[in-house]
């Protein structure tokens, strides 16, 4: 049986509603609890007034979990400790007098107690509870996450609690074992060109499976962009992908049989650690062509110079889904086709724009510039699939790997980075002539993460209902340059970057 830490939270009245149990995934047994992610401390506001109500029971378990990020720096591991919440059978506490002897007795075996009200905390300390802490809260939407954050923050500063130390030792051990296993499962086939340590060069890293449609276009594009070192990690291709990569002697090739569903981020992190320490790396999918603001007049090396001078360590980019004005079944393409010519259109009509998601634990420690960095979702996928699924378009592909940054805390995010004051573009060529075949393979193999599989099953349903699929509409626009997207707000540039461009032009 898993060892656990018992923690009770005492909260102000009306700050918290009953917990919402998330719907189970198909085939899963209904849990007796639900897990949460921690929130970043920057959201925590001063103490809220009010009486006390529910007591929440939080259990810190030793289970192996899948979400690194906030916890790697807090407790030194890439897997986070689960924080589980449920309401125990205790009466509501309206006043200080409601801390009855029965309730106090029930708390005797508790490892930690967190209170909003200092008077209640003092009363508990008087009753010989040594580990009692007070903390402020923001609101009910983040309250559970804040509990978890404070619990882990306490543990990260060192604890004399024997149970805590045993659990942390096991987490550290599992982390090391996982990293060692991943490293052993990745094989180097050929070593290509190696970048110098110049700060205006970057290494492109691409994890690929069955990408023969894209290989030649991908290599040509990034070579023309000014990239010298390209690294492919083949993840079990059954088409001509491997043979096509081997046509390029300057390209580095790794292979791995690891499950994409379980180890996608681990694979990328391992390759980054081996090849990109104190260097820029650009991590992109095989169907993504990276672009940056004013690339028409600015070389990639000069763009990297700008980032380095300002000490930025990560750049946000948003995927721009590209498509044709023809139906997919009417387009004839091959491995030599120029996708930029065949699929020149995009559609911004159904974009959802929000603030950068610092409430996500996977990117909660990132530092934002003064420029507002947006978080786009939706777009042409939302428009055509008729679903409430958000379809995150945000990614963090361009990273400088220093001693602080945490790359790939999630396929779309990094953590502990200083974000640049500009955003970039990933021209995304998923919706091309080979799209139906891709959907069929992915849905048959079921080797994508849970939410990705939901997305591909939506694609499958869309293709079944549309025998001549076409993403083009009257809202579509033809891509000309990044300047158009800057004007439309899809790419963000700061005043400092604009001045930098103006000086380069002069």
| Residue 194, both tokens | 């190696």
Q: Are 352 and 390 in contact (CB under 8 A)?
A: yes
Q: Is pLDDT larger for residue 486 or for residue 172?
A: 486
Instruction: Report the C-alpha gap between 415 and 417 in whole angstroms.
Output: 5
Query: Confidence class of residue 137 from pLDDT cuts 50, 70 and 90?
Result: very low
Residues belonging to the chain? 506
Query: Confidence class of residue 159 from pLDDT cuts 50, 70 and 90?
Result: low
- The pLDDT of residue 198 is 78
Query: Confidence class of residue 449 from pLDDT cuts 50, 70 and 90?
Result: confident
User: Directed axis angle between helix 260-275 and helix 162-184, to 10°?
Assistant: 80
pLDDT higher than threshold 90 for residue 374: yes
C-alpha separations of 384 from 113, 251, 349, 505 in Å: 49, 38, 12, 41
Per-residue pLDDT averaged across 376-395, rounded? 92
Per-residue pLDDT averaged across 396-417, rounded? 93
Interacting residues of 68 by C-beta distance below 8 A, sequence separation 6+: 77, 78, 79, 80, 265, 362, 406, 409, 415
Per-residue pLDDT averaged across 477-492, rounded? 96
- The pLDDT of residue 425 is 98
- The pLDDT of residue 318 is 98
- The pLDDT of residue 337 is 75
pLDDT higher than threshold 70 for residue 2: no
Percent of the chain clearing pLDDT 70 (strictly above): 66
pLDDT higher than threshold 50 for residue 179: yes
- The pLDDT of residue 438 is 95
| Residue 477, both tokens | 């626009």
Instruction: Report the C-alpha gap between 278 and 70 in whole angstroms.
Output: 22
- In this structure, of 111-115, 147-151, 189-193, the range with the lowest mean pLDDT score is 147-151
| DSSP letter assigned to residue 328 | G
Q: Are 239 and 208 in contact (CB under 8 A)?
A: no
Percent of the chain clearing pLDDT 90 (strictly above): 54
Phi, psi of 493 (to 5 degrees): -130, 145
- The pLDDT of residue 260 is 95
Per-residue pLDDT averaged across 257-277, rounded? 95
Question: Chain-centre distance of CA 127, in angstroms?
Answer: 44
Query: Confidence class of residue 415 from pLDDT cuts 50, 70 and 90?
Result: confident
Phi, psi of 148 (to 5 degrees): -60, -40
Would the pTM of this model clear 0.85, i.e. be above it?
no
Following CA atoms 215, 219, 221, 226 in sequence, which dihedral angle do they give, to the nearest 10 degrees? 160
Q: Is pLDDT larger for residue 159 or for residue 468?
A: 468
Per-residue pLDDT averaged across 309-323, rounded? 97
Phi, psi of 428 (to 5 degrees): -110, 115
Instruction: Report the C-alpha gap between 392 and 380 in whole angstroms.
Output: 12
pLDDT higher than threshold 80 for residue 48: no
Instruction: Report the C-alpha gap between 181 and 176 in whole angstroms.
Output: 9
Query: Confidence class of residue 241 from pLDDT cuts 50, 70 and 90?
Result: very high
Rounded (5°) CA angle 348-351-353: 130
Q: Are 317 and 399 in contact (CB under 8 A)?
A: no
Per-residue pLDDT averaged across 89-99, rounded? 44
- The pLDDT of residue 387 is 84
- The pLDDT of residue 173 is 73
Per-residue pLDDT averaged across 353-375, rounded? 85
- The pLDDT of residue 170 is 63
- The pLDDT of residue 431 is 96
Query: Confidence class of residue 34 from pLDDT cuts 50, 70 and 90?
Result: very low
pLDDT higher than threshold 90 for residue 435: yes
Strand partners, 84: 35, 59
- The pLDDT of residue 409 is 85
pLDDT higher than threshold 80 for residue 21: no
β-strands 374-378, 252-255: how paired? unpaired
pLDDT higher than threshold 60 for residue 467: yes
Coil, helix or strand at residue 226: coil
| Residue 20, both tokens | 């919402």
């Amino acid at each position: 049986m898993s060892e656990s830490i018992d923690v009770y939270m005492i909260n102000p009245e009306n700050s918290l509603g009953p917990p919402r149990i998330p719907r189970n995934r198909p085939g899963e047994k209904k849990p007796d609890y639900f897990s949460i992610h921690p929130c970043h401390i920057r959201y925590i506001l001063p103490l809220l007034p009010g009486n006390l109500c529910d007591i929440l029971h939080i259990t810190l378990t030793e289970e192996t979990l899948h979400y690194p990020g906030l916890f790697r720096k807090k407790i030194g591991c890439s897997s986070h400790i689960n924080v589980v919440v449920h309401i125990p059978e205790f009466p509501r506490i309206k006043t200080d007098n409601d801390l009855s002897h029965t309730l106090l007795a029930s708390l005797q075996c508790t490892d930690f107690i967190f209170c909003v009200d200092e008077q209640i905390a003092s009363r508990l300390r008087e009753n010989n509870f040594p580990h009692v802490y007070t903390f402020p809260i923001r609101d009910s939407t983040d309250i559970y996450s804040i509990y978890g954050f404070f619990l882990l923050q306490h543990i990260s500063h060192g604890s004399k609690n024997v149970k805590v130390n045993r659990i942390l030792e096991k987490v550290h051990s599992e982390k090391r074992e996982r990293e060692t296993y991943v490293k052993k499962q990745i094989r180097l086939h050929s070593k290509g060109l190696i970048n110098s340590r110049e700060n205006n060069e970057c290494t492109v890293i691409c994890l690929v499976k069955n990408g023969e449609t894209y290989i030649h276009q991908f290599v040509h594009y990034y070579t023309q962009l000014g990239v010298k070192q390209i690294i492919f990690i083949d993840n079990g291709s059954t088409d001509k992908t491997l043979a096509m990569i081997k046509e390029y002697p300057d390209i580095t090739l790794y292979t791995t049989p690891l499950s994409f569903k379980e180890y996608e981020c681990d694979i990328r992190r391992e390759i980054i650690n081996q090849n990109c320490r104190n260097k820029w790396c650009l991590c992109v999918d095989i169907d993504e062509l990276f672009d940056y603001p004013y690339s028409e007049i600015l070389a990639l090396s000069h763009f990297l110079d700008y980032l380095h001078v300002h000490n930025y360590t990560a750049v946000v980019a948003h995927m721009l889904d590209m498509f044709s004005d023809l139906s997919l079944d009417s387009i004839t393409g091959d491995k030599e086709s120029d996708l930029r010519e065949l699929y020149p259109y995009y559609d911004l009509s159904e974009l959802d724009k929000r603030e950068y998601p610092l409430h996500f634990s996977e990117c909660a420690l990132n530092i934002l510039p003064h420029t507002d960095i947006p978080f786009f979702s939706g777009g042409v996928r939302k428009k055509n699939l008729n679903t409430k699924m958000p379809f995150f378009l945000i990614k963090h592909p361009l990273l400088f790997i220093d001693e602080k940054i945490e790359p790939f805390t999630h396929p779309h995010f990094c953590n502990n980075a200083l974000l640049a004051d500009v955003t970039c573009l990933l021209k995304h060529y998923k919706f091309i002539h080979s799209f139906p075949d891709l959907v069929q393979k992915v849905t048959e193999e079921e080797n994508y993460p849970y939410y990705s599989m939901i997305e591909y099953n939506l694609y499958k349903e869309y293709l079944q209902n549309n025998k001549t699929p076409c993403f083009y509409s009257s809202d579509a626009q033809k891509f000309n340059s990044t300047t158009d997207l800057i004007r439309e707000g899809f790419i963000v540039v700061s005043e400092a970057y604009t001045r930098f461009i103006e000086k380069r032009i002069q």
